[in-house]
């Protein structure tokens, strides 16, 4: 495989485009710095003509793959009606109805453009509701890149995440270890407006919640009058039509959605019961944004959720089964090669780590050498399998059993090269 076209583009782009990309993670070494020329289903072709089985899937939104006919047709039809950016358009209520039909916690919804923004709105709603100002989050969980939430993103760390971040913005954020209910009980008081969590820790490396943990969060927040916020930007419509809350049977006050909600176009949402959403419904909490609920993204979202709703009984179990086959296949290949490769899975989200010790809980990641996993992802790219460089993989409805077999073969070959 040659990468001269991608490398030449990166050289050119760096002259005029800061770091050559438009989002920091895309600047990682191969695989994601590959310049994509076209994509179809779960396959991407780069500017050098190399083809990849894509498990990066645009960082998660492309559950229906790169070219879902219903979404693309709906977007085309919507474009023919003119852009109408910033106007009120009739698809918005339909999308809110679809969200309410899918999620146990959803009655009233409001739309934004990115997950980062939607998290901010959810926390603002929680502060308005409670008249309190502090927020509890968990180490290793990612809730977007705003000054106020871009903290303690690594397990075992309470650090700010970027140069230039306002240190005062995180003054009211309390970071705890995920699973630590005793720690939570110790900090919950009448200053805590919200507890926010990824309901399954996908960004940190695909860890399921400990049995009883989400129930414990629900009970403790209710008792202390704080709002429980599930950040389902990744898990919404991916771990099932009802997301992580449906999978684990725990209903939060507010849910943040993004990614799959738009079928690949930018849209996010905050949703909850009519009571939980009252600060926005009443106008007490301001919610602004030129592109909020833009008709093209809304049309894509409606087409995506219609497609998923009509086929949920068949699609989700099929994807789950393929996820399990892929996980088992990689584990068996690693065992045969006596290679230190661990795999975690939550539904259609997989994470491989180069690690010679078991990684059963998020806190087991403290001190893990991330470079070895990055190097392994590069070996996979050379073999036509694209993952996120940190070892996270998403499945789509387009990945077939034959694709899974091909992928396991690529892992086997990469393991051989890794050992050598
Ligand atoms: N929350 C979670 C759980 C996410 O995974 C992400 C994005 N990876 C975000 C929030 C931020 O979403 P966005 O990139 O759309 O701002």
Active site residue ranges: 142, 231, 259
The answer for residues whose C-beta is within 8 angstroms of residue 224's C-beta and 6 or more apart is: 188, 189, 190, 192
Whole-angstrom distance, CA of residue 401 vs CA of residue 420 = 29
Q: Is the pTM of this model over 0.90?
A: yes
Q: DSSP label at 107?
A: S
* DSSP conformation letters of 159-173: -B-STT--GGGGTTE
For the chain, domain boundaries: 81-307
Whole-angstrom distance, CA of residue 105 vs CA of residue 278 = 14
- Tell me which residue has its CA closest to atom 13 in ligand 1: 115
Q: How confident is the model at residue 357, as a pLDDT?
A: 86
Give the ranges where 283-340 is alpha helix by DSSP (H): 295-336
Question: Of ligand 1's atoms, which has the minimum distance to the CA of residue 117?
Answer: 16
Q: How confident is the model at residue 1, as a pLDDT?
A: 85
Q: Is ligand 1 within 6 A of the CB of residue 115? A: yes
Q: How confident is the model at residue 420, as a pLDDT?
A: 63
| Cis bond before residue 31 (omega within 30° of 0) | yes
274: helix, strand or coil:
coil
Question: Of ligand 1's atoms, which has the minimum distance to the CA of residue 59?
Answer: 8
Q: How confident is the model at residue 29, as a pLDDT?
A: 66
pLDDT mean values, one per 10 residues, the chain (420 residues):
91 93 84 87 97 97 98 98 96 98 97 98 98 97 97 91 95 97 98 98 96 98 98 98 98 98 98 98 96 98 98 98 98 96 97 91 90 94 95 98 98 90
ipTM surpassing 0.95: yes
- Residue the block writes with tokens 């694209």: 386
Q: Is ligand 1 within 6 A of the CB of residue 236? A: no
Question: Of ligand 1's atoms, which has the minimum distance to the CA of residue 114?
Answer: 15
Taking a C-beta distance cutoff of 8 angstroms, is the pair 379, 414 a contact?
yes
Structure tokens at 275: 């009571």
135: helix, strand or coil:
strand
Q: How confident is the model at residue 285, as a pLDDT?
A: 98
Q: Which fold has domain 81-307?
A: 3.40.640
The residue whose CB lies within 8 Å of the most ligand 1 atoms, and thus the one to mutate among 244, 258, 266, is 258
Whole-angstrom distance, CA of residue 277 vs CA of residue 147 = 24
Q: What Å distances lie between residue 218 and 70, 213, 228, 229, 252, CA to CA?
A: 37, 9, 7, 10, 7
Q: DSSP label at 237?
A: T
- The secondary structure of 4-42, three-state, reads HHHHHHHHHHHHHCHHHCCCHHHHCCCCCCCCEEEEECC
The residue whose CB lies within 8 Å of the most ligand 1 atoms, and thus the one to mutate among 233, 266, 349, is 233
Sheet holding 43-46, edge to edge: 36-40, 43-46, 51-54, 385-386
Torsion angle, alpha carbons of 371, 376, 378, 382, to 10:
170
């Amino acid at each position: 495989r040659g990468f001269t076209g991608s490398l030449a583009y990166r050289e050119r782009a760096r002259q005029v485009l800061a770091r050559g990309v438009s989002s920091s993670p895309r600047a990682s070494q191969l695989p994601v710095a590959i310049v994509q020329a076209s994509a179809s289903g779960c396959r991407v072709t780069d500017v050098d003509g190399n083809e990849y089985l894509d498990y990066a899937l645009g960082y998660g939104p492309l559950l229906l793959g790169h070219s879902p006919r219903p979404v693309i047709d709906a977007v085309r039809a919507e474009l023919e009606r003119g852009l109408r950016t910033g106007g009120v358009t009739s698809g918005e209520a339909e999308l809110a109805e679809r969200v309410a039909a899918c999620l146990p916690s959803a009655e009233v919804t409001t739309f934004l453009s990115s997950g980062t923004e939607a998290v901010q709105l959810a926390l603002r709603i929680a502060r308005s509701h409670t008249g309190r100002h502090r927020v509890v989050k968990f180490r290793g969980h990612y809730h977007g890149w705003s000054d106020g939430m871009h903290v303690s993103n690594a397990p075992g760390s309470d650090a700010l995440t970027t140069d230039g971040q306002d240190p005062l913005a995180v003054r009211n954020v309390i970071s705890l270890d995920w699973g630590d209910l005793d720690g939570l009980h110790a900090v919950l008081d009448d200053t805590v407006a919200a507890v926010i969590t990824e309901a399954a820790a996908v960004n940190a490396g695909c860890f399921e919640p400990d049995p009883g943990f989400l129930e414990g969060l629900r009970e403790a927040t209710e008792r202390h009058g704080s709002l429980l916020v599930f950040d389902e930007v990744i898990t919404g419509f991916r771990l099932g039509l009802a997301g992580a809350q449906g999978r684990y049977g725990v209903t939060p006050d507010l849910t943040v959605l993004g990614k799959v909600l738009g079928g690949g176009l930018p849209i996010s949402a905050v949703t909850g019961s009519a009571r939980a959403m009252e600060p926005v419904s009443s106008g007490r909490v301001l919610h602004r944004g030129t592109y909020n609920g833009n008709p093209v993204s809304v049309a894509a979202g409606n087409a995506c959720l219609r497609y998923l709703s009509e086929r949920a009984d068949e699609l989700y179990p099929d994807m789950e089964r393929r996820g399990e086959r892929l996980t088992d296949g990689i584990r068996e290949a690693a065992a045969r090669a006596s290679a230190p490769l661990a795999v975690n899975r939550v539904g259609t989200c997989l994470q491989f780590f180069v690690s010679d010790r078991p990684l059963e809980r998020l806190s087991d990641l403290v001190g893990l050498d991330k470079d070895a996993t990055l190097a392994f992802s590069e070996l996979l790219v050379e073999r036509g399998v694209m993952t996120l460089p940190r070892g996270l993989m998403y499945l789509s409805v387009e990945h077939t059993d034959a694709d899974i077999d091909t992928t396991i073969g690529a892992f086997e070959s990469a393991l051989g090269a890794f050992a050598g």
